[in-house]
Amino acid sequence: MISPLYRAVDWLRHAGRRRTWNPGAALGRRGEDAAHRYLRGLGYTVVGRNYRTSSGSGEVDIIAWDGMVLVFVEVKSRSTGEFSAPDRSIGQEKQLRLFRAAREYLRRANLPWNQVRFDTVSVIMEPRMAISHARDVFRIKEPV
């Protein structure tokens, strides 16, 4: 559970971003902030946010340790849950981009592929913020 103080600070930060950012980008960042706090509350150690490959071919919203497992987290946010769960919009292309970013991150950090998991966090903002976390949502075989 995210404390009311953190919610207020996140809302103020979001209000500032909405003045200068694209509304969709501001909503996405607000969702990432909420997911970050949520994962930390579960005991995850967040080691990276918005990691992008050097070539620009991949991106990961949050990278965190869950015990001895390195977790690459895709955060999906929606203003309401009216149409479908946010994480349903993660298709093959997005999975490939996550894979590329994970592969580059592991190579740079000199970590083995067998310590990796891919999770999603869905954030629905209204009528009251709701966060759902799905662990090990898809598997990609070890790169050759």
Task: Dump pLDDT digits (tens) for 51-109.
Answer: 999 888 888 999 999 999 999 999 988 876 666 565 566 778 888 889 999 999 999 99
> What CATH number is given for 4-134 in this structure?
3.40.1350.10
Going from N- to C-terminal start, the domains of the chain cover 4-134
| Residue-level pLDDT at 71 | 96
Cβ atoms of residues 92 and 4 within 8 Å:
no
CA neighbours within 13 Å on the CB side: how many for 134?
A: 14
Tokens encoding 108: 């740079």
Candidates 70, 2, 73; CA nearest to 34 is: 2
